[in-house]
Amino acid sequence: MSDNQSWNSSGSEDDLETESGHAVEFGGVLSKWTNYIHGWQDRWVVLKNNTLSYYKSQDEREYGCRGSLCLSKAIITPHEFDECRLDISVNDSVWYLRAQDPEHRHQWIDSIELHRVRRTPGLRNRRRLPDGLHYITV
């Protein structure tokens, strides 16, 4: 896992939309379990519009995502023993993800849950984002 794990930032809005109404995305590096040959690989992960997408790296975003999950029906499960890991499942698809440390895992889980609440009609209450969460303005 890289030592420079952080949320990218270009603003400090307190909501999931900018004043102009544009969607905001969150992004950062998480390790994703690929297979038994390659194991855990660092990936650039983006949360936007109730979708979690991953890219090989931040620089390769222009080539398109390698996979995405709609979070509406996702089940987010913190791992029982690994304090840095979270599993996200939708139907028969499961992503095994690992943060740099337990604090970053907690930030990701809070951000995903908050993003889902904010994107679900009828639940659009104004809430502050977890400490340490920043924005990438689209």
Q: What is the pLDDT of residues 38-87, one digit of tens each?
A: 999 999 999 998 899 999 999 999 999 999 999 988 999 999 999 999 99
Q: Which of 8-12, 20-24, 96-100 is the most confident on average?
A: 96-100
| pLDDT at 53 (0 to 100) | 96
Q: Please check whether residue 30 is in contact with residue 69, taking contact to mean a CB–CB distance below 8 angstroms.
A: no
* Of 10-14, 63-67, 113-117, minimum mean pLDDT range: 10-14
Task: Give the confidence band of 121 by pLDDT, cuts at 50, 70, 90.
Answer: low
Number of H helices, E strands in the chain: 1, 8
- What distance in Å separates the CA atoms of residue 25 and residue 136, rounded to the nearest whole number? 5
- What distance in Å separates the CA atoms of residue 44 and residue 23, rounded to the nearest whole number? 19
Angle at CA of residue 130, ends 83 and 103, nearest 5°? 20
| pLDDT at 73 (0 to 100) | 86
Q: What is the mean pLDDT of the chain?
A: 78
Q: Is the pLDDT of residue 101 over 80?
A: yes
φ/ψ bin of 20: left (φ > 0), alpha (ψ from -120 to 50), beta (otherwise) = alpha
Q: Which amino acid is at 56?
A: K
Residue 59 DSSP SS3: helix
Task: Give the confidence band of 26 by pLDDT, cuts at 50, 70, 90.
Answer: confident
